[in-house]
Amino acid sequence: MKNHAIRQTLRFCQGTALLFVLFLGGLMGYDAWRSQQPLKEGLAQLELLKTLDLEDSRQTQTIRDLDYLYRSAYFQTKDRQAYGFLLLGVGFLSFCAALGTEWFLFPPKLNVPQTSAAVPERERKQTLYFSLGALSVLILTVLAVRMTTRSAFEEEISPTSAPVVASAEPPTEKPTEKVAISPTSPPGEKIDRAAAMEEETRQWAQFRGSVLPNQNSLSAAWKFREKWRVPIPLEGFNSPIVWEDRLFAAGGNEQQRAIFCFDAPSGKRLWETECQLATRYPELTDDTGVSAPTLCADRSRVCAIFATGELLCCDHDGKILWQKLLPFPEISYGYASSLLLVGEKLIVQYDLNSSQTLYVFDVTTGDEIWKAARESATSWSTPIALLHEGKLKIFVTDSLSAELFDGQTGESLWKQECMGGEVATTSSASAGILYLSNTGAMTGAISVKDGEILFRNDNVPAPDVASPVLLGDVFLLFSSGGSVIALDAATGEELYEEEFDNGFYASPVVIQDKLVGINLDGELLLMTATKEKMNVEGRFALEEKVVAIPAMYRGNVIVRTFENELVFLETQP
């Protein structure tokens, strides 16, 4: 009697799961068919409105509002379909689990038929095979509908038709480079570059903190306690940045990409702002993801870039000021170059498989100031800025060359084809000299003035992830294997090598003539280095894997862990 009840329960579960899958599949197919018509009608209305007078500001605003609704409908439909397929998979697995459990507990017995009547077990098998066949046909049908619908959606919302511009004149850019500017873009404002750069040194505003030497305070005793810990809603490997009491980080997946703002003293999440301009999702590796580049900020704005080509700028309250869709980033592993902000200039190194471009945008409006198409190779490196002879210069490295640009005009001042491998590290600069090192490329120094190679050392292991750092007259190379090699900054001669228990992915930073680093074990290190030796002055064990650069905040440290949490380490006396 007990076995009979169990068997009946399992069969009931099988029937329920099968009916659920069939019903849900039917609903998904109907939803996919029904969603096409409104989108087609919305696109037709957009195209019609674009033929009207775009000088009328009210007309232009109407077009932008409709464009926003059109895109929202597309992504809502896409999310609904994805959730439906997840439920479909759960239902199918439940059916298989109930069926497998029954066959395991009650295997069919071999009975010799007494008459010509069909054996009940054979009838049940036939019913089972028929059900599985019908289920397979249904799933294939829904998949076909989904692919057809998705193809139609992507064609309708492609960058050549959907973004709205504020001029009736035809665009002069290639379709793949067309940008979408938010209607909330403010008029340009004058930024005192020198004052902005000096103010940034007291914040932690971008990759490695600031362009000029950072002036954040450090914990005197290098003792900390955890004050708060919060999760970041979307995954990413970018490092946190801080401006005053606003803490910023980014994350994303195939469905959404967003900037998140937290209150630094309390850890409370204040807002999140999404960008959904991308119509395609690139092939990415798990250790890069869609949100590897570190953000940048000034006193009014915060900017982020994603491996979808989306570039987003918000104010400190989360309001979108402008956004752009750059050419689709086809690149091995995924796009990972961080943003560089120097006064009013937002600098983007955009090195893809097919093209390598250095963009400079006006951060106040999103307008392109200049761009330089480079005959180079792919990279994941972040550019650096320096002031030389009173003028702004921008230095970039890729997997073929090192090149210096005039920051005002975009003119290439010189180029050295001295690189190789897969360049991901960022260089350092001091006193008219550029220092660089990367596995497969060169380890050495180059003159800012004319690009002359001052020294080159190919006999030392170079870093592959963590960027090298210059501390006084010592050039330090941090490897993912755990070794730190010190070179003489004047000659390139190897001075010594230190070994740590684990390697470094996060780039070390210099603050007030001291070196702050964190290894893969989450050991936070305070170091100094001379030509004779390296001293570890402080250690703090977070005991969690870390690949992002910690942010300095008023003597405290904010860490983004590999498990995608922000941890506030409060300094102790």
Q: Which helix (H) or strand (E) holds 140?
A: helix 120-156
Residues listed for the chain: 573
Predicted confidence (pLDDT) at residue 153 exceeds the cutoff of 90: no
CA gap 36, 480 in Å, rounded: 50
pLDDT for residue 442: 93
Phi, psi of 480 (to 5 degrees): -75, -10
391-397 and 402-406 beta bridge pairing: antiparallel
Please report the sign of the dihedral spanned by the C-alpha atoms of residue 522, residue 528, residue 529, residue 532.
Answer: negative
Phi and psi, residue 248, nearest 5°: -120, 140
CA atoms of 478 and 239, how far apart (whole Å): 18
Output the pLDDT for position 210. Answer: 95
Question: What's the pLDDT score for residue 133?
Answer: 65
Alpha-carbon distance of 35 to 146, in angstroms, equals 11
240-281 per-position pLDDT tens digit:
999 999 999 999 999 999 999 999 999 999 999 999 899 999
Q: What pLDDT shows up at residue 166? A: 33
pLDDT at 220: 87
Q: What is the Cα–Cα distance from 108 to 121, expressed in whole angstroms?
A: 7
Nearest to 204 by CA among 147, 261, 247, 258: 247
Question: pLDDT tens digits for 205-227?
Answer: 999 999 999 999 999 899 999 99
Q: Which uninterrupted H or E stretch holds 328?
A: none
- Strand, helix or coil at 372? strand
Alpha-carbon torsion 40, 42, 43, 47, what sign?
A: positive
Of 219, 196, 200, 222, nearest to 209 by C-alpha is: 200
C-alpha span between 244 and 297 (Å, rounded): 11
18 or 499: which leads in pLDDT = 499
